[in-house]
Structure 1
Amino acid sequence: MASSDPAQEPPPDGAVLVKHEDAVAVITLNRPHALNAITRDMASSYAHALRTADTDPRVRAIVVTGAGRGFCAGADLGVLNQGAEAIRAFVPPERDLPDLALRLTKPVIAAVNGPVAGIGFAYMLGSDIRYAARGASISTTFARLGLVAEYGLSWLLPRLVGTPWALELLLSGRTLDADEAARIGLVHHVTEPGEALAAALVYAKDLAANCAPSSLAAIKSQVYGDQDRTRQEALARTLKLMDASFDGPDLAEALAARRERRAPVFRTKE
């Protein structure tokens, strides 16, 4: 699951902001006047920011959020109103599609602070863990625009919430709130308004401080990779990974830290 070289890509522009809090990279979609609706350049910058964080040895977890009162309202309407060719040109190349976060080695946590729809919905589902603030509205919208289930959501959404709920949400394109989203398993945690980012950061910082980067990368690879393996294949692969981990320095460090009543100092993921 190694990432591509970010040096080959342009740096993020002002529409995507990156800052670091301890060992956590916080990536913010930054078009608050448009509820962070995505432009083509913004999609490229967001993908670049994710890859850069994934290859940065200082970073152990990633949080993504939106500036202002929205997470991401979907594709910029200026693109949609320009016709089919402009929309085709907007679709990111395969390596930059919203499932990029699932292909990274580091955990990605979404802090959904406000409205999310369309490609924003795909970005949210592309995160490994999702926090949402009460008052955030969540919608697929595709069917209401005469579109299909985009960006692989027909594969991913049933795996998150089950086929019946995936069909209900995709067919209707309706809006649901954070509490209903949590009830059906679409988001993991609901916070009070304005607190999603803070809660996501607490979770991310705990992962960064207390979990071995090698374990986080391996577990993420196991969970997503095993969806396309048989039970026997997954078990065989797990046994090999288990055997390798027994001789690894991280287990020895974790046990020593417990004996010495201190925080573990895990090696940076190679």
Structure 2
Amino acid sequence: MEISHDDQGPVRVITMSGPGGLNVFTLDVHEELGARLTEADGDDRVRVIILQGTDRSFSAGADIDSFPAAPCDPTTFVTEFLQANSLPERLRKPVLAVVRGSATAGGFELALACDWIFALPEARFSLPEARFGLVAGYAAARLTHIVGAHHARRLLMTGESLTADGAATLGLPVTVADDPLQAALGMADQICRGTPHAIRLIKQRTVALGRAFDPDFGISVAAYAQLWNLPDTREAITAWRENRPARQRPLNDPWQT
């Protein structure tokens, strides 16, 4: 994936562009994106960061082929991905996401970690991890605080695809706009009217409230570790690769090892 940036006055626009416009995250891509975001956060000339993808995709999330093969201990791998997806919320400066196409799985979580999302009407948001026998770790740790427990369970359990209007109606931090980049630049201009120290403190205090439940994603990492090596998870991922329905077993009929 190519990651570039363009400074528009005090606003740095960072653009992710992968092959075919489908932005897929590997650990290397996450490392490069993290470096770009951290660099912008440390540059005194930058007041606001805007993160955008392509017309096709903000991000499709993690490259499933980069997952370590089970059986293994996934703790290090999962922790690195969760830390990468959540980086925008840990930066001192505001980060605004611009979504034109799909924001799926970890891509949705990365947008959710930003301070606000601007989206085209045709943009789509989804968390399909449960279909692979997994859980959307960052979303599981933060969604309840954002939209409430029942809506959080709905999104995490169903993996349904939301329109931008549907996401906004549900209470997600989404503004629907025909030109989402210009809308984001408009909010950035408003933010820049505040002093840098005030903006930083506001972000720190409000993010701290959201992190209170699972600040270091320990609960989410433990959930991944519990699910990672189950035969059900391996079957779900294999079925996706083979483009077929997964064989599912009820909880009271465990897989034979």
Normalising TM by the smaller chain, what interval? Answer: 0.7 to 0.9
Correspondence for 1:181 among 167, 190, 195: 167
Matched with 1:160 is: 146
Matched with 2:195 is: 212
Offset from partner CA, 1:63-120 (integer Å, 9 cap, x none): 011023211011124425x734899575463794211111111001111111011110
Shift of residue 223 of structure 1?
1.1
Q: In 2 relative to 1, CA 226–75 (structure 1 residues): closer, same or farther, beyond 3 Å?
A: closer
Aligned length: 211
Shift of residue 22 of structure 1?
0.6
CA RMSD in angstroms comes to 2.3
Larger mean Cα displacement after TM superposition, 141-150 or 212-221: 141-150
Correspondence for 1:24 among 3, 7, 11: 11
Q: What stretches of structure 2 of length at least 5 have no aligned partner?
A: 213-257
Matched with 2:111 is: 124
Correspondence for 2:42 among 55, 66, 72: 55
Q: Distance in 2 between matches of 1:179 and 1:105?
A: 29
1:103 to 2:96 alignment: no
- Which structure is higher in strand share? 2
Q: In 2 relative to 1, CA 59–121 (structure 1 residues): closer, same or farther, beyond 3 Å?
A: same
Matched with 1:170 is: 156
Shift of residue 204 of structure 1?
1.2
Q: Distance in 2 between matches of 1:67 and 1:87?
A: 34
Offset from partner CA, 1:102-158 (integer Å, 9 cap, x none): 1111001111111011110110110011111111111001111111232x3212011
Q: Distance in 2 between matches of 1:126 and 1:31?
A: 21
Q: Is contact 1:19–1:25 with CA below 8 Å preserved after alignment? A: yes
Shift of residue 227 of structure 1?
4.8
Q: What stretches of structure 1 of length at least 5 have no aligned partner?
A: 1-13, 230-270
Q: In 2 relative to 1, CA 108–85 (structure 1 residues): closer, same or farther, beyond 3 Å?
A: farther
Matched with 1:233 is: none
- Counterpart of 1:17 in 2: which secondary structure? strand
Q: Is contact 2:125–2:164 with CA below 8 Å preserved after alignment? A: yes
TM-score (norm 1): 0.72
Q: Is contact 2:127–2:159 with CA below 8 Å preserved after alignment? A: yes
Task: Quote the sequence identity (%).
Answer: 34
Q: Distance in 2 between matches of 1:29 and 1:155?
A: 25
Q: In 2 relative to 1, CA 227–187 (structure 1 residues): closer, same or farther, beyond 3 Å?
A: closer
Q: Distance in 1 between matches of 2:175 and 2:163?
A: 12
